[in-house]
Amino acid sequence: MNCIRIWACNADAEAPDLPRITGYEIKSEGLVPVTHEDIPAELCLTLTGICSCMTVSVEPKPDSAAMTALQKFALRAAGILEGAYETVNDPSGSSGYVFCAQTNDLTVRTYDRKYLSLWFAPANGTAENRKLLYEAIEKILPFALPSKYGDENPPDTEFSEDGREKFLSFLEKSEKPVWFCRRPLCQLILRDRPGDVQGRCGYISLELPAFLDSIPEWHEAFRRLLVRLSEIYSAFFAQLTAGECGVVSWWWRGIPYELGSICVIGKEYCELIDDKSMGTSLPDGSVLFEEPDGPTIDKKLLSKKKKGFLGIGSGKTGREAYTTAATIPGSCFGKR
């Protein structure tokens, strides 16, 4: 199939009539409404407000003159619709996007950070789950794919576009992988093999510039990724939170006082929380909450930052920096 896809941000505009090119049949069903999940992730995160898509197909395969005519039409249509277009030539895929509207400014302007983190039982840190983690990022938040990776921070191995299998092989074997993400995201730390150490569980954390969470398309991607990773790892708690409000390491001490803009509470804790009415139930038994709606959590389940803790650089580790909740389900550490 040879086609051009036109992505529209202006819901009130109408697409122009299809061009007529001698010797070719050109078809389209017109503009079709789309949701975030219908839009390729990289495009959705780059161009705000996409509301519909128009696919224009051509048969037989166009020569260069016919393709030039189609691209001129697409450029005009994308301009009217205040969006973008791409040329799709199977099996080679898309040739990339041509934007006819202002894209998101993803320049990092401050050092304010947020952390998308999740915690889970040690047994769930499997090689298969690592592969599923990569595939989830690839589909939902491709900017979180690695630019550099390694066993130490800072990582020193460059990721090449044809190095996907090489990276997956590294991911399968590495005990403590870390990678720098593609801009504007920062880094991902994967600590899913904590060993048989008392008080330690599996932990994943993605560091990102805080301003991205205020862009609707990015917030939606963070929500989808947090839910998907929670499902993959059967996380007992996950959150997107500012600064160092969370537990910040694999030493689990209880639910943080600040739940963040998004949080997923796993079934282990859901059994101990009475009021979950403001959340959205997920298929695996966990519950999703988003600000300003949150659950009422008994203080015995909560952990808070100790007095005098100034940050990770203060010399205290995640184990030392937070109080231990009075009640922590044994299943968090793989105990029944």
The per-residue pLDDT for range 292-321, each reduced to its tens digit, is: 888 889 999 998 877 665 554 444 455 667
Q: What is the pTM of this model?
A: 0.86
Q: How confident is the model at residue 96 (pLDDT cuts 50, 70, 90)?
A: confident
What does the pLDDT look like over 123-150, one tens digit per residue? Answer: 999 999 999 999 999 999 999 999 999 9
Is 108 inside a domain boundary?
no
Instruction: Based on the fold, state whether residues 172 and 291 are members of the same structural domain.
Output: yes
Instruction: Based on the fold, state whether residues 76 and 122 are members of the same structural domain.
Output: no
Is 105 inside a domain boundary?
no
Q: Which amino acid is at 182?
A: R
Instruction: Based on the fold, state whether residues 58 and 172 are members of the same structural domain.
Output: no
Residue 46, token pair as written in the block = 């780059």
Is 185 inside a domain boundary?
yes
Contact between 325 and 254 under an 8 Å Cβ cutoff? The reply is: yes
What does the pLDDT look like over 262-303, one tens digit per residue? Answer: 999 999 999 999 888 889 999 999 999 998 888 889 999 998
Domain that residue 56 falls in: 2-99
Residue 260, token pair as written in the block = 């963040």
Instruction: Based on the fold, state whether residues 94 and 118 are members of the same structural domain.
Output: no
Task: Out of 59, 77, 99, pick the residue that ends a domain.
Answer: 99
Map 5-62 to HEC letters.
EEEECCCCCCCCCCCCCCCCEEEECCCEECCHHHCCHHHHHHCCCCCEEEEEEEECCC
Is 107 inside a domain boundary?
no
Q: How confident is the model at residue 108 (pLDDT cuts 50, 70, 90)?
A: confident
**The pLDDT value given to residue 236:** 96
CA 229 to chain centroid, in Å, comes to 9
Instruction: Based on the fold, state whether residues 24 and 153 are members of the same structural domain.
Output: no
- Conformational region of residue 311, where left means phi above 0, alpha means psi within -120 to 50, and beta covers everything else: left
**The pLDDT value given to residue 316:** 47
Instruction: Based on the fold, state whether residues 38 and 181 are members of the same structural domain.
Output: no
Percentage of the chain modeled with pLDDT above 90: 63
What does the alpha-carbon distance between residue 128 and residue 3 come to, in Å, rounded to a whole number?
36
Name residue, tokens 């390694």. Answer: 150
Q: How confident is the model at residue 256 (pLDDT cuts 50, 70, 90)?
A: confident
Instruction: Based on the fold, state whether residues 201 and 295 are members of the same structural domain.
Output: yes
Q: Total domain count for the chain?
A: 2
- Residue 12 reports pLDDT greater than 70: yes
Instruction: Based on the fold, state whether residues 92 and 117 are members of the same structural domain.
Output: no
Instruction: Based on the fold, state whether residues 24 and 170 are members of the same structural domain.
Output: no
**The pLDDT value given to residue 313:** 42
> Which range (45-54, 166-175, 212-221, 238-247) has the least confidence?
238-247
Compute the Cα dihedral for 336, 240, 45, 191 and give only its sign: negative
Compute the Cα dihedral for 213, 241, 297, 221 and give only its sign: positive
**The pLDDT value given to residue 94:** 58
